[in-house]
Amino acid sequence: MSALFPTYNRWNISIESAEGTTVIDQNGKKYLDFISGIAVCNLGHRHPAVQKALEEQLNKVWHVSNLFQIDLQEEVAAQLTEKSSGDYVFFCNSGAEANEAAIKIARKYTGKSKIITFKQSFHGRTFATMSATGQEKIQQGYGDLLPTFEYVPYNDAAALEQAVDENTAAVMLEVIQGEGGVNPGTASFLEKVQSLCKQHKLLLIVDEIQTGIGRTGKPFAYQHFALDPDIITAAKGLGNGFPVGAMIGKEHLKDTFSPGSHGTTFGGNMLAMAAAKATLSEIFNDSFLQEVEEKGNYLLKQLQEKLASCPLVEEVRGKGLMVGISCKEDVVSLISTFQEKGLLIVIAGPKVLRLLPPLTVTKEELDQAASILVEEILLKNKKGLATS
């Protein structure tokens, strides 16, 4: 019996304690958590620095309102703008809200309303962000969407160029499509998008909600490429488990969000800011990020080598600690098999196994997870062949 709307398909696992990469369920069973709350707990569960910052803030003040000066917001905004192409930050509480702010500011600044996004993209579940999302299954049943979004195939710069018209305000993309299957944008595509934006004076909005906050080995994933976005959105990993989102924009956008033009009660809440400040202090430094990149390469190589000759596996891809194992068949049933073996992962569409370990994961934990993954994928491959 449950009094919850059944919006989620839930597993029969209830996590009762958690630390680092390890979580323990209601039966005392231990798991390696390669989900991290879906790219949220990037420093692992209950990271001591974030926990301490939250505990200290709990004893000072929790929430006032944006009618007041809030120094912590200034400090987190400085951290975000120092490590990105942006100059100003608007704080909110989730990814969808960050994208909502991005869509609003892009339309108001340009006076135009069309925003080009991509097939298989995911930008959120509010009306504007659902409309921005290039997946029909997310939009079905809700009636008229917010108009003037156009979805073009990802990694297809020619299709993008075709879609640009005089009413186009912006292009919005994920550098690696997360929910859509861990699909990386190619350098040539992304850099062509940038040049088209410059040429046609379109704003470039990069949705870094899943790829940001160190996930790929850079503060933001666009920094692997020659990109200079006007707007960056962040959320998920920003508070290491405390809900917080941010829309980061360039100088020229400043006056578009004038007093009274946009807002939210909880945005930049002091507890959220304390968590974000501590999280960014840990993640936004070169040696930490270099380790993320190294561990990511180590995991990717290991999986690529060991699964190279497995017919079930199409490709192992990703960047940093955002890795997808793309298969030729539906592999949803493997999720519960991995759970039995003590490994938690999620899918990104029925054919892609997605790995999002905490960025603090150890090489031993990567080895353990890789051995479970490889063993069970090879077994599934063998069984599949036996029955066909």
Q: Check: CB of residue 169 under 8 Å from CB of residue 113.
A: yes
Q: Which one, of 217, 266, 264, 209, lies nearest residue 238 by Cα?
A: 209
| Residue 268 binds to ligand PLP (criterion: CB under 6 A) | no
Paired residues of 88 in beta bridges: 249
Q: Which stretch binds ligand PLP (CB under 6 A): 116-124, 289-297, 329-337, 377-385?
A: 116-124
In the annotation, is 207 catalytic?
yes
3-state secondary structure of 249: strand
Catalytic hit among 112, 218, 236, 277: 236
We find the least distance from the C-beta atom of residue 295 to ligand PLP, in angstroms, to be 21
User: Which residue of 90, 91, 122, 257 would you call a contact of ligand PLP, by CB under 6 A?
Assistant: 122
Cα(388)–Cα(189) distance, integer angstroms: 39
Which among 203-211, 293-301, 313-321, 329-337 is the span making contact with ligand PLP, rule CB under 6 A?
203-211
Phi and psi at residue 181, to the nearest 5°: 125, 20
**Residues contributing to the annotated binding site for pyridoxal 5'-phosphate:** 95-96, 122, 207-210, 265
Looking at 207, 277, 306, 351, which residue is catalytic?
207
Are residues 263 and 65 in contact, defined by beta-carbon separation less than 8 angstroms?
no
The DSSP element (H or E) to which 313 belongs, if any, is strand 313-319
Helix (H, G, I), strand (E, B) or coil at 172: strand
Of residues 135 and 337, the one with the C-beta less far from ligand PLP: 135
Nearer to ligand PLP, 323 or 370 (CB): 323
Hey, is 78 helix, strand or coil?
A: helix
> Which residues neighbour 125 within 8 Å (Cβ) at sequence distance 6 or greater?
96, 138
| Of the candidate residues 54, 77, 102, 235, the single one contacting ligand PLP (CB under 6 A) | 235
- With contacts defined by CB under 6 A, how many residues of the chain interact with ligand PLP? 15
| Spatial separation of the C-alpha atoms in residues 149 and 168, rounded to whole Å | 9
Q: Is 178 in the site for ligand PLP (CB under 6 A)?
A: yes
Tokens of 105: 């500011």
Only segment of 1-9, 164-172, 206-214, 325-333 that touches ligand PLP (CB under 6 A):
206-214
Beta carbon nearer to ligand PLP, 173 or 344: 173
Q: Should residue 94 be labelled a site residue for ligand PLP when binding is judged by CB under 6 A? A: yes
Q: Under DSSP, is residue 240 helix (H, G, I), strand (E, B) or coil?
A: coil
- In angstroms, the CA 67 to CA 337 distance is 51
- Catalytic residue, chosen from 122, 225, 284, 338, is 122
Q: Does 174 bind ligand PLP (CB under 6 A)?
A: yes
354 binds ligand PLP per the rule CB under 6 A: no
In the complex, the residues that contact ligand PLP under the rule CB under 6 A are: 94-96, 99, 122-124, 174, 178-179, 207, 209-210, 235-236
Q: Catalytic residues, which ones? A: 122, 207, 236
